[in-house]
């Protein structure tokens, strides 16, 4: 059986692990991208893993070449790698903003450029970037200034890819959850109502639902659409 290939960056993170595990259960070949020094995400026979520094453009280009040489195509990319930091506007230095841009935007930019080039060559593909509802609705961005600014750049990146490469049957999407229910987020926001947060499993299912769709913005929780 020929499996479709999905690349998941940040596969060892909470969301990346859930996305990887979900697509494995759906019969996909999953290629996880992780940083050096992590245990393998899965022992599943259809899971493979590559170590890469997503902040290094040359390193990213090399790993994409390696993946294509091994699997011929990259059908879907889900970019979950990134970082989060709390802070109101007046508490947030430009250094913190630049750090968040490096973590959340630059990594996505490097990986998307290399993967989209391959998808244009193979004449098909889907890119999923993980944004944040706070970037789409700034009234909800209080307390996460640098994070929101960096994630807002991903929205524009998704539209840029879509506008230039929809003709090549390459579709870009920006998935915008409110707050993802992870152990670290519970530590950072101990007084929040966790019941209103989004589960990583739900986000994985939503990603599957929008594969081959031309809808760019995917808002996970409609409660934020106000």
Percentage of residues in the chain having pLDDT higher than 70: 88
Q: What is the pLDDT of residue 1?
A: 36
- From the CB of residue 55, how many other CB atoms can be counted at a distance below 10 Å? 14
Alpha-carbon distance of 52 to 42, in angstroms, equals 17
On the CB side of 205, CA atoms within 13 Å amount to 6
- Secondary structure element (H or E) that encloses residue 170, with its range: strand 170-176
CATH architecture of 5-224: 3-Layer(aba) Sandwich (3.40)
Q: What is the pLDDT of residue 219?
A: 84
101-147: pLDDT as tens digits: 999 999 999 999 999 999 999 999 999 999 998 888 877 778 889 99
pTM attached to this predicted model: 0.90
Tell me the domain boundaries of the chain: 5-224
Max Cα-Cα span within the chain: 55
186-197: pLDDT as tens digits: 666 666 656 666
Beta-sheet strands, E only, within 18-158: 29-34, 47-51, 76-79, 125-130
- Secondary structure element (H or E) that encloses residue 187, with its range: helix 183-188
Indicate if the pLDDT at residue 68 is higher than 60. yes
Indicate if the pLDDT at residue 26 is higher than 70. yes
Predicted confidence band at 40 (pLDDT cuts at 50, 70, 90)?
Answer: confident
Tell me the mean pLDDT in the region 23-34: 96
Alpha-carbon distance of 30 to 207, in angstroms, equals 14
């Amino acid at each position: 059986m020929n499996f479709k290939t999905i690349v998941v960056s940040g596969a060892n993170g909470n969301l990346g692990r859930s996305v990887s595990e979900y697509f494995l259960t759906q019969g996909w070949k999953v290629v996880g991208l992780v940083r050096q020094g992590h245990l393998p995400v899965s022992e599943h026979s259809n899971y493979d893993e590559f170590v890469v520094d997503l902040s290094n453009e040359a390193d990213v280009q090399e790993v994409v070449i390696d993946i294509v040489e091994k699997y011929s195509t990259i059908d879907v990319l889900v970019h979950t790698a990134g970082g989060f930091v709390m802070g109101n506007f007046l508490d947030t230095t430009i250094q913190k903003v630049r750090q968040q841009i490096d973590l959340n935007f630059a990594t996505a930019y490097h990986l998307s450029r290399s993967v989209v080039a391959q998808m244009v060559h193979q004449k098909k593909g889907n890119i999923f970037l993980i944004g944040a509802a706070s970037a789409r609705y700034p009234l909800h961005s209080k307390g996460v200034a640098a994070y929101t600014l960096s994630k807002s750049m991903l929205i524009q990146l998704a539209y840029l890819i879509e506008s230039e490469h929809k003709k090549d049957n390459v579709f870009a999407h920006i998935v915008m959850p409110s707050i993802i229910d992870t152990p670290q987020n519970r530590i950072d926001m101990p007084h929040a109502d966790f019941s209103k947060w989004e589960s990583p499993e739900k986000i994985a299912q939503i990603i599957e639902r929008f594969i081959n769709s031309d809808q760019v913005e995917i808002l996970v929780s409609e409660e934020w659409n106000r």
